[in-house]
A = this chain, B = another copy of it.
């Protein structure tokens, strides 16, 4: 049927296409049917809503569609039912344990990006991958298909380095030190990061405290070609867009199939043109990878996948059993990172990890001799060259390079928890610390978070402060306190962990 576009002021989280009840009946269309909009440009696929908010001869579209497609009010388009996409057969093939061919994986990824596959099919694909897995041929095909169905960057300044932490450890502002150290040594490192999804602060959330993080690919190219580095949010770029769509199912199901995780990370590196990639795998209780054996197996997969993509990949297995540094939450972490860059000093867990990772990158990029990378990284940090590079990045991204740690506002509603007993700190629960910071309002409330005064192995006396919760409102502070009381994130030897009896 032919119809005139009517833009409906709504975001439904999917491509919603409204037609009138009468016309739906005529066309034998039902709610949530997949339909195709032909406008002379690339066809658009959406989910049907039957509604008298649009009249006969009109087709309503939700604003979700306009984020990637241009349709204008009153434009004449053709609406037709869309059949079952061919790629559903390949998803079924994976369900039945068969290996997928390259063209089949490409078809699935293209149909995801084109929105021909919707929640049902994508969730089924994710579930089939969680159960039946992918081999390295399939992962390489998936990675390349994900990259090539999105935009790609071509920076004219080689070699291009990248670093990625697979995440899960709270307070991990390490890369905010690593990037300027590596760039100060003359290497190119166009770093894209994510915002927090389930954590209290993604690298992009922290960097945003200093400067802008949202740029187009052309702007990124300009920034990186000028200062050798950037620290931007990858989410609004059209890098490997299939990944941004599948993540919705992964989050709802709280699964992260290994093959999909590898493809998700490496497709973005591939799209950014990265040639030398360092993967940081934090390992320990309460993070994604709990044992060194798992970390080693994953490391081999990253390295092998890199080979298939023509990238040189190294992996650093790091300790992720407790938070990095002393702060968790965007503004608190920004303060800590900036202070470390300015003074060259800070918590050992932050400084040593940053220098370790930066050192490996310096060696990979050929600017430090083997075994000398960390030493060189330390010189760059302590000499102030890394801070100088950080100032350039902040300025180039539109922020104030003169910002000082004390200028950064943190939540002024605070509550400090003290040691209930004397003894050694035997454990800090990553998930609980993240939960407290989120309950306090992080990452949306930039000033919310947790400041830790102790780390595992330290001795405390009864009444010593353990950590302070920061929030921007009393209500959020109260929520965080309740959460902290319930989870007891810091365990002290000799503490009664649980008391069971008559109440």
Contact = CB atoms under 8 A, between A and B. Distances in A.
Contacts of A11: 31, 49-51
Interface string A1-36: 000000011111110101000000000101111000
Contact of A88 (B50, B88, B253): B253
A130 interface: yes
B52 A9 contact: yes
B255 A92 contact: yes
Q: Which of A10, A14, A92, A126 has the most B CB atoms < 10 Å from its CB?
A: A10
A91 interface: yes
Contacts of A91: 253
Q: How many copies does the complex hold?
A: 2
A53 interface: yes
A96 B253 CA distance: 13
Interface string A219-248: 000000000000000000000000000001
A500 interface: no
A121 interface: yes
Contact of A12 (B49, B84, B121, B249): B49
Contact of A50 (B10, B124, B132): B10
A123 interface: yes
A77 interface: no
B119 A84 contact: no
A49 B51 CA distance: 15
Interface of A: 8-14, 16, 18, 28, 30-33, 47-53, 62, 64, 84, 88, 91-92, 95-97, 118-124, 126-128, 130-132, 248-249, 252-255, 444
28 contacts: A10-B49, A10-B52, A11-B49, A12-B32, A12-B50, A13-B32, A13-B33, A13-B47, A14-B32, A32-B248, A49-B62, A53-B53, A88-B254, A91-B253, A95-B255, A96-B131, A118-B119, A120-B122, A120-B249, A120-B253, A121-B123, A121-B252, A123-B127, A124-B126, A124-B127, A127-B131, A128-B131, A131-B132
A-B pairs with the 8 shortest C-beta distances?
A13-B32, A10-B51, A13-B31, A119-B119, A127-B127, A123-B123, A120-B123, A124-B127
Given A88-B252, A95-B131, A127-B131, 8 more contacts: A9-B52, A12-B16, A12-B47, A12-B50, A13-B33, A121-B253, A124-B253, A127-B127
